[in-house]
């Protein structure tokens, strides 16, 4: 079986739902008073379809950002564990390294698949949306079967609809009017600008400063110019309806990137430092409103308390060390009760005792 045909068969139910959703959105525009049939309603329905699907994918986006932040937060600890077992290649050491890394992930609630699973769910949905828009000419001509509520007549209406004088079925090569080509070129240029802006912001604002000197960072900077160039080549051959989808999707991605940098920045990056400064100022404002000391005043008070405790310990330490010395001095200078002499003026009693004992031993008679 052809892998592409197998993939299309798996995505067929998703494409059916998207086609049905496209017809429902068009029906809502018609209910608002826009004319039915070929016209602006279908163009707006295509653009709103992208927005509706991306709104439905917001929970997955939040899940993905939280998973990425959790993995980035424990990144230094993971690298420390890897350096710890870098020189050990035996199976026991590798197993111990995996256990420590899994324990660290459980402790901080981080999941390596937390940032991959949402992307794996989003990719088939966005691909199905692309395939639905791309298959509209085949459905309108009868070369493909109807999809959901999108029959041959409705697909023909979508293909005949136009915006800014450009039909959704036109491409840069098939458009005969120069004005239509200018509009298509402007849409392709907007796609390239939004994609380049999104990648430049992510590379220069959401990358940790210690990683900006790595070869991967230089590779990412090169890709920021490669993908817009691909858009220029593909934009000349794709239908205008698909270009509208890409333009709307890129605008959404750019706005989503700005939200990501403000709410979920990478620790250690420029965006992360700006978020820390905003959180710091917000917390100080909350404390001022509540009549509490600021963060700087609280830290200064804690530092003064630590310094005062250190000074108190240093002040008490000489008094405790001098007390035993004074007691020993007083004990050495007290007079002896038996002899009436001072202890330091008495003779060496130990030497005299040993001499007396030696004399007694020598004077003792031998036993036969």
DSSP notation for 97-130: HHHHHHHHHHHHT--GGGTTHHHHHHHHHHHHHH
Q: Identify the pLDDT of residue 89.
A: 79
Q: CA 105 → CA 40, 74, 76, 100, 305, distances in Å? A: 51, 8, 12, 9, 36
Q: Identify the pLDDT of residue 367.
A: 54
Residue 16, in any domain of the structure: yes
Per the structure, the complete domain to which residue 43 belongs is given by: 1-74+110-163
How far apart CA 84 and CA 153 sit, in angstroms, is 67
Residue 55, in any domain of the structure: yes
Q: Identify the pLDDT of residue 130.
A: 78
Residue pair 15/132 in contact (Cβ under 8 Å)? The answer is: yes
Q: Please tell me what DSSP assigns to residue 211.
A: G
Residue 297: in which H helix or E strand, if any?
helix 295-332
Residue 287, in any domain of the structure: no
Q: Identify the pLDDT of residue 154.
A: 84
Alpha-carbon torsion, ordered 101, 103, 109, 115, to 10 deg: 30
Q: Identify the pLDDT of residue 324.
A: 52
Residue showing tokens 């999809």: 147
Residues in contact with 296: Cβ distance below 8 Å, sequence separation at least 6, in sequence order: 284
Residue 147, in any domain of the structure: yes
Q: CA 143 → CA 9, 151, 155, 354, distances in Å? A: 17, 12, 12, 126
The residues pairing with 205 across neighbouring beta strands, listed in sequence order, are: none
What is the number of structural domains in the chain? Answer: 1
Residue 200, in any domain of the structure: no
What's the pTM?
Answer: 0.67
Long-range contacts of 73-82 (CB under 8 A, 24+ apart): 73/108, 73/110, 73/267, 74/104, 74/105, 74/108, 74/110, 77/104, 78/104
Residue pair 130/8 in contact (Cβ under 8 Å)? The answer is: no
Residue 205, in any domain of the structure: no
Q: Identify the pLDDT of residue 209.
A: 75
Residue 99, in any domain of the structure: no
**Tokens of residue 61, six digits:** 């986006």
37: left (phi over 0), alpha (psi -120 to 50) or beta: left
Which residues in the chain come in under a pLDDT of 70? 1-5, 7, 111-119, 318-368
Residue 37, in any domain of the structure: yes
Residues in contact with 5: Cβ distance below 8 Å, sequence separation at least 6, in sequence order: none
């Amino acid at each position: 079986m052809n892998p592409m045909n197998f993939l299309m068969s798996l995505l067929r139910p998703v494409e059916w739902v998207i086609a049905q959703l496209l017809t429902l959105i068009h029906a809502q525009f018609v209910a608002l008073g826009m004319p039915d049939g070929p016209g602006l309603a279908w163009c707006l329905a295509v653009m709103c379809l992208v927005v509706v699907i991306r709104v439905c994918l917001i929970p997955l986006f939040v899940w993905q950002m939280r998973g990425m932040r959790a993995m980035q937060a424990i990144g230094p600890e993971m690298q420390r564990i890897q350096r710890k077992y870098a020189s050990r290649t035996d199976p026991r050491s590798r197993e111990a390294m995996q256990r420590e890394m899994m324990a660290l992930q459980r402790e901080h609630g981080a999941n390596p698949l937390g940032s991959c699973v949402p992307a794996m769910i989003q990719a088939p949905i966005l691909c199905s949306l692309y395939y639905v828009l791309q298959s509209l000419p085949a459905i309108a001509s009868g070369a493909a079967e109807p999809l959901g509520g999108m029959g041959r007549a409705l697909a023909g209406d979508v293909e005949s609809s136009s915006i800014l004088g450009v039909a959704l079925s036109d491409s840069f090569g098939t458009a005969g009017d120069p004005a239509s080509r200018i509009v298509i070129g402007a849409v392709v240029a907007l796609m390239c600008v939004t994609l380049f802006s999104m990648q430049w912001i992510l590379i220069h604002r959401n990358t940790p400063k210690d990683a900006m000197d790595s070869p991967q960072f230089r590779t990412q900077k090169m890709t920021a110019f490669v993908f817009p160039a691909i858009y220029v080549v593909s934009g000349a051959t794709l239908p205008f309806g698909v270009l509208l989808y890409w333009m709307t999707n890129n605008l959404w991605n750019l706005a989503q990137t700005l939200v990501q940098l403000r709410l979920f920045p990478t620790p250690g990056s420029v965006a992360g430092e700006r978020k820390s400064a905003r959180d710091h100022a917000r917390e100080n404002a909350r404390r001022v409103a509540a009549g509490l000391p600021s963060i700087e005043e609280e830290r200064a008070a804690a530092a003064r308390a630590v310094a005062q405790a250190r000074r108190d310990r240093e002040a008490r330490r000489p008094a405790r060390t001098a007390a035993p010395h004074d007691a020993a001095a007083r004990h050495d200078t007290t007079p002896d009760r038996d002899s009436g002499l001072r202890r330091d003026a008495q003779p060496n009693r130990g030497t005299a005792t040993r001499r007396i004992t030696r004399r007694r031993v020598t004077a003792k008679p031998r036993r036969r």
